[in-house]
Structure 1
C-alpha cells in the first residue's frame, strides 16, 4: 500500500517547485529553506501520489501540501477550481484563508471560502469566479452536490486534488465515513481519480490512516506516509518535551483552579482546556471575578462571540482563553506561552494536539500544566501521562458498521442525481466497504418505508424522506450528527450563543439567570415557538448547562489499565506537585484492595454488592456484562473499572460462566436513548440500527483479554 517512509521517486527539493513560489518563500516569507517535511513532500506530491503528511502541530503541513500543488497547478495549467482544502472546523478554514490567499496570489491564482457561514452573495461570486483553491467542510461540499443552485458538474469538473487537514479528526468518527463517501461521489462526477493528501499530527497507525483516506483507490494508487520526524533516533522522538515541562497538580475545585491560574504565569498568554462547556463558563466567570483578562470559546457560543474572543486573544498578552476542544486543532491564537489542562482530555492524541500549541517560538519549549479538580480527574490525568511517557498514542480507527451513514448517502445521492438506477447505485462508491453489495437490505428498507420511491427501475426521493429531512431544502441531510435541541440566547439583536432548554423550564426561586460567554444574564422573555430567549446583563448568579444524547465518555482499555498501573505505584515521568503526590498516595491506599498486578479481583465487601474489578475500560466492561448475563447484574450502569455481579455468585459458578463465555462474546445491549443519538438510525431496520450501535459500544479484544486473566475472589470487612 504505502512504501517505506522516504522511499519512492527520485529525491527532489525546493528547486523543483515553481520558481515564482521559490522567490516568495525566500524573499516574502524570509525562509532560509524548507523544513524536512516540506522538502520530502515535494517528490510524491509533484507526481500525483496520495499521501499522509505527519508532523507535530505547527510543523508546516499546510505549506508542505500546497506548495507542490501550486507548482503542479502552474506546470500542468490547471484551470477553474482544481484543489479542495477540507477541514473539520469552519473556524480553522477562516484561519487558513489569509495564508492560502497569499500563496495563490503569488502565482496569479485565487483561494476562497465556502461553508455554512458564508453569505449567499459571496457564494454567487465564487460560482462565477471559480477560485483555484476552495476551502470547505465535507458537509458544505455535499450541500453543493445536492443543491439546485450549484451546477456541480461544471463548478467541480476541474478538480485534481483534495487536501484533508486534521485527517485524524475525521477518521475516528462518522464524519470520516461521510467524507470518504462524498469524495467517491465527487470522483465519479469529475470522471477521474483525485489525488488525496491528508495532514495530521502524530498518530499511532499512519499507514492504516493513509489506506483509509485512499478509499476505493487504496489498492491501485501509489501512496506514502511522509514523516521525517519518525526516522530520528529513538531518544529524539519521545512523545513530549523533557519531564520538567509537563506538571501535574491537584487543586480540588474550579475555585482553586481559578486561584492558581490567576496567580501563576502573570504576563503570559495562557490557553486553558476544559472537558465541558459548563466548566468553560464557570472557570471563565471566576477568572474574570479575579480581574484576569479572560476570553471564552466553545461550540454553543455564537460565531461572532467566538471570533471576537479569538481575535482579541491573538492580539493580547497578559490574558487567558478558556476553551473546549474547539481550539485543539490548528487555529492560530497568536504567540502562546502556556497550555493548562483541567483534569484530562479523553485521549493521548488530544493531549499531543494541545501540547503542540506551545513551544513555537525560538528558545521556548512545549509545556502543559494539568490541574486536577478531583481524585478521579487526577487519576485520569496520571494514567494519560503515563501512557504518553511510554510513547503510546491511540491508533485512529473508523467506527465499525456505519449503516446509518450508508442510508444517508443513498438518500443524498438520489437527491443529487434526482433519480438513480436501482441496480446502478453501488457504482457511485466504487466498491467502498459498507457502501457496496452489503447495503442492499438498507436500500430495500428505504423503499419499503417510503424514504425512496421506486419506478421503472429507478430510485428517487420518497415522501418519508421529504417529511423527515426535507426542511430547509434537505440541509439536515448533510449533517451526520444529531445535535441536542438548544435555545438561541439574544441580548437585543446580538446573539450570545445557545443554551439547554431545561434551564428555561426548571423551577427557580427568583429571576431566571443564565451563564453564557462568561457572564450572567437575566432572562426577560422566552419565544417558545422560535426557540429563542432574550436576556439582559446582570452581576452574577447565572447557571450554565448543556445536555447530551445519552453518551458516556468511554475510557479505553489502555488508559484504564494505565490507571491501574498508577494505583499499583507507577508514576508518570512528569513533574508531580506535592499536592498531586499526596492525593495519589491517598488514592493508592483506598484502592489497594481492588488492584492486583497478576490479574483481576472479584471483591465482596460486607453489606455491599459483588464487583469484578476488571480495569478493562468502558467498552470491554459493557461487552463482559452482556456476555456474562447469567452472572452479572442486569440493572447495573457500566463503568470503566468494574462489573457488578449477582450477589449469590460462587467461585464454581463463575468458572462455569467463564468457560461458557469463551469464544462466544455478546455485543452490549442498546438503550433507546442512545439510538436517538445515532442520526439516520430511523432510516434503518430496527435490528440493523441496534446492531450498528452495539458494535460501537463493544471491545471484543479487551473483553477477551480480561476473561483470560486469572481471577481472585476476596472478601473485605465493612
Structure 2
C-alpha cells in the first residue's frame, strides 16, 4: 500500500480538499513507519517540508480518539508556536470530531476546565505548563495522561543541550510513570547535529529511529561588507538594506534587540524621505505580546503588501508568518544551526529558492560568516554540549516532586530519581547531599519521616517563576499614556532624559519609577540619538577551526562582493607569513611592541577557560593581558619566551582551580548567573556544575599541551 492508502479516509479527504498533488517524501516515509511500527521517531527535515503533517497524519489514523483521556500530547518551546500550530492541527481534526486544546498561561480557562472534566483528544502545551500541572494539579495528571499514546515534541533542537531540555526529559519520565501505556515519542526539527543525545529524550534511545530528509535546498546567497566605526550600524549599510528589501517581504536578523530596534528606526526614516511602504516592524521578546501578534498576523495576511520585520530568535523558529521573499542577516550568527533556521524562513513555497544576504560590519564577523556558510554547505550542524550531571535541575525537580506530594519519605523520593533517566549519572550519595542541603537552608523540611516544602521553600515553589528553569531577565514595563509599549532591562544606560528605541519608535524616558518598577515615556521629538544595546553568543570550536582554515587557504570564496573580498584578503594578509599545517594545534602568535597577540581559534568555552586560568595567575604574579572573544585572541604583555612558558604552566593550575572558583563565587554572585537554581546547591556541587557548564578543562588541557606556537 502507498502512504496515502495507509491513511484513514477522513485524512485522505483532507488531503484532497487541500489540493495536494502528492505527499512530500518525508511525509510518505513517516506515515509508513509511524503506522506500521511501534518505534519512536526523530523527523529531521528542512523548514517548511511538512514535518507537522508528517507526524499528525499517521497519528490521527492510528489512534482511537474515542478512548478516554488525552491521546496525543504536543509539546512546543514557544506559546506563539502553540497558537500557530493549534490552527493547523485543529483544521486537521475539525472533521474528525477530535478536540484540540491549548494549555499555557495565555490560554482560556474554559478550555482547560473542559479538558479536566472530559479528558480527550490532543493537548498542546509548553514544558513550563506541564511543570505547573505537576505542582498545582498532581491528582489530575493520571486522569489526563493515563491513556496517552503519543508525544510530539516540536523544534526539539531548541531543547537540546539546555537546562530546559533536561527539565522536559524529567517531566516526560514523570508523565510515563502515570501512564498505563507505552508512549511513543515523535520529535521534529530542521537542525539536528547530535542524534545520539536526542534519542535519549523519552528514555528509549534503542527504540528511537531517525527519519532524515536529505532533499537539497537551493540558496541564493550574497555577502556584503560595510565597515562600522562605532556602536551604530553604518548608514551606507542601512541604505543598502533599504534598497535590498523595499520591494520584498523580508525578515532581518540583527544579533540583539537593540540592533533590531535601530535598523527598523533607520529604515523608517529612509522611507519617509524617499518614499515607499511604511511596513517596517521590530519583533523581539521585550515588545508587548499584542504588538508581536499584530506583526505576525500582518505578515501572514499580507498577500500583496511588502514588509520588513527586524527580529531576534523570536521568529527563528517555525511560527507561520506566511511567505517571505528574503532573509537578511546583520553580522555573523554564532552557530550553524541558527543560520540554517534563519535561511529556512524564506523560499518556503515548492520550487522556491532561499534568498539570503549576509552583511558584515567588521573583518572578524565577515570571517565567521564565511566559515559558518562553508560549514553549512558541507552539511555540518553544531554538536551541542550536554551536562551529564545536572545537579541544579535535579534540585529543581526534587522540589517539584515534593510539592506534588502531601508528604514523601526519603526512600520514596530517592527511588523516583534513581530510575529517572534524566539524572542517571547522579549518584544516590549526591542526591542525599542535595536533600540534606535543601533541609539545612529550609527549602524543605522533614516532618515525622516525610519531606514537605519548608517555609522558605513555599515562597519559592508557589511563585509562577518556579515552573521555568531558564533565567528570565528582570524587565521593567515601559508605559506611554497608560499603554504598555514593551519592557526593558534596567541598565546604567537607561536614564531619565535619554531616548530609547522600542516597538520601532523612539521614546524619551520621562520618569523611572523604581518603587513601582515602571518606566514612563513619551514620544521623542528632540532628534537626540537613542541608546543601543548588544548581545553575544558562544561559538563552537569547529567554526573557529574553519575560520583558521580559510585564512591559511589559497582558495577565495566566489560568492563575496568586492568589498568583502578586499577585507577577507586584508585579514588573510595579516597571517600570510605564518605557516599553519595542523588546524587543531598550530596557532599564530603576532609579535608587536612589548605585546604578543595569541590567536586561539578555539571555542568560546576553551577561551573562557584560558581566561580563567590567566586571571588565576594574576593572583600570584603580575600579568597584563586582554581577552577578545570576538577575534578569539589574547593580547599579553610578555616576551615570546615568557608566554611560551606561561602557556605550558596553565594546565598545572587546574588542579587547584576549585578554591579560586569558590572565591569568585563568594565575591560576585553574578558568577553563577548562567543557572537559575545553582545558588541553592551545596558548595562543591556548585563548583562541579560551574566547571561542567561554563568551562571545558579537558579540551583546554589537550589544546595547551599540544599547542604549536607559530610566529
Q: What TM-score do the two structures reach when normalised by structure 1?
A: 0.87
Q: CA RMSD in A?
A: 3.0
How many Å apart are 1:604 and its aligned residue?
3.8
Per the TM alignment, residue 455 of structure 1 is displaced from its structure 2 partner at its CA by 2.6
Greater mean deviation of Cα atoms: 272-281 or 667-676: 667-676
Provide the residue aligned with 1:563 in structure 2: 547
The CA distance in 1 between the partners of 2:114 and 2:355, in whole Å, is 44
1:638–1:286 Cα change, 3 Å: closer
Deviates more, 1:539-548 or 1:384-393: 539-548
The residue correspondences of 1:106-125 to structure 2 (distance < 5 A) are 106-125=95-114
SS for the counterpart of 1:272 is strand
Name the counterpart of 1:184: 173
Q: 2:594 aligns with which of 607, 617, 631?
A: 607
Of 197, 202, 211 in structure 2, the residue corresponding to residue 226 of structure 1 is 211
Partner of 2:409: 421
Alignment partner, residue 202 of structure 1: 191
Q: Quick one: which of 344, 366, 371 aligns to 1:356?
A: 344
SS at match of 1:600: strand
Closer/same/farther in 2, CA of residues 704 and 512 from structure 1, 3 Å limit: closer
- Residues 339-376 of structure 1: CA distance to partner in whole angstroms, max 9, x if unpaired? 11001111111111111111222442112100112223
Which residue number in structure 1 is paired with residue 538 of structure 2? 554
Alpha-carbon distance in 2 for matches of 1:491, 1:314: 28
Q: Distance in 1 between matches of 2:554 and 2:377?
A: 12
Unmatched tracts of structure 1, length 5 or more = 1-10, 231-235
Check if 1:328 corresponds to 2:316.
Answer: yes
Q: How many Å separate the matches in 2 of 1:345 and 1:391?
A: 16
Q: How big is the shift at 1:501?
A: 1.9
For residues 58 and 18 of structure 2, what CA distance do their matches in structure 1 show?
A: 17
Q: C-alpha displacement at 1:275, in angstroms? A: 0.8
Aligned residue in 1 for 2:275: none
Equivalent of 1:460, from 452, 460, 472?
452
Question: Following the alignment from structure 2 to structure 1, what is the Cα–Cα distance between the partners of residues 702 and 138?
Answer: 54
Alignment of 1:187-336 (within 5 A): 187-210=176-199, 212-215=200-203, 217-219=204-206, 222-227=207-212, 229-230=213-214, 237=216, 241=218, 245-253=220-228, 254=233, 255-291=235-271, 292-316=278-302, 317-336=305-324
Deviation readout 1:468-506 (Å, 9 max, x if unpaired): x14xx3311111122221110122343211012236863
What's the CA shift for 1:554?
2.3
CA contact (8 A) 1:281 1:516 kept: yes
Instruction: Tell me the residue number matched to 1:707.
Output: 704
Q: Which secondary structure does the structure 1 equivalent of 2:436 belong to?
A: helix
* Matching residue of 2:487: 498
Q: 1:174 Cα deviation (Å)? A: 1.1
Of residues 574, 577, 582 in structure 1, which corresponds to 2:566? Answer: 582
How far has the Cα of 1:186 moved from its partner?
Answer: 1.4
CA distance in 2, matches of 1:103, 1:626: 54
Match of 1:411 in 2: 399
User: How many Å separate the matches in 2 of 1:354 and 1:268?
Assistant: 17
C-alpha distance in 1, partners of 2:25/2:110?
Answer: 41
1:575 CA drift (Å): 1.5
Size of the aligned set, in residue pairs, is 678
CA contact (8 A) 2:445 2:451 kept: yes
Give the Å deviation of 1:403: 1.1
Aligned-pair distance for 1:250?
A: 0.4
Give how far 1:14 is off. Answer: 2.2
CA distance in 2, matches of 1:478, 1:376: 40
Partners of 1:575 and 1:32 in 2: CA distance? 36
Gapped regions of structure 2 (runs ≥ 5):
272-277
Alignment-derived partner of residue 4 in structure 1? none
Instruction: Specify the SS of the correspondent of 1:703.
Output: helix
1:675 equivalent in structure 2: 672
Partner of 2:73 in structure 1?
84
| Contact 2:73 2:151 survives alignment (8 Å) | yes
* 1:343 corresponding residue in structure 2: 331
Q: Alpha-carbon deviation of 1:678? A: 1.3
1:320-341 Cα shifts (integer Å, max 9, x gaps): 1110011111111111111110
**Which residue of structure 2 lines up, in the alignment, with residue 165 of structure 1?**
154
Alignment of 1:467-478 (within 5 A): 467=459, 469-470=460-461, 473-478=462-467
Tell me, yes or no, if structure 1 residue 534 matches structure 2 residue 511.
no
Offset at 1:531?
Answer: 1.3
Is the CA contact (8 Å cut-off) linking 1:348 and 1:394 kept in structure 2?
Answer: yes
In the superposition, the TM-score normalised over structure 2's length comes to 0.88
Q: How does 1:26-45 map to 2 (within 5 A)?
A: 26=16, 28-45=17-34
How has the CA–CA distance of structure 1 residues 595 and 380 changed in structure 2, closer, same or farther, with 3 Å as cutoff? farther
Alpha-carbon distance change, 594 to 308 in structure 1, aligned in 2, over 3 angstroms: farther
CA shift at 1:285, angstroms? 0.3
For residues 97 and 422 of structure 2, the distance between their equivalents in structure 1, rounded to whole angstroms, comes to 41
Which digits, 9 at most, give the CA deviation of each residue in 1:13-66, with x for residues without a partner? 22222221112112x211123212111112332343211111100111111111
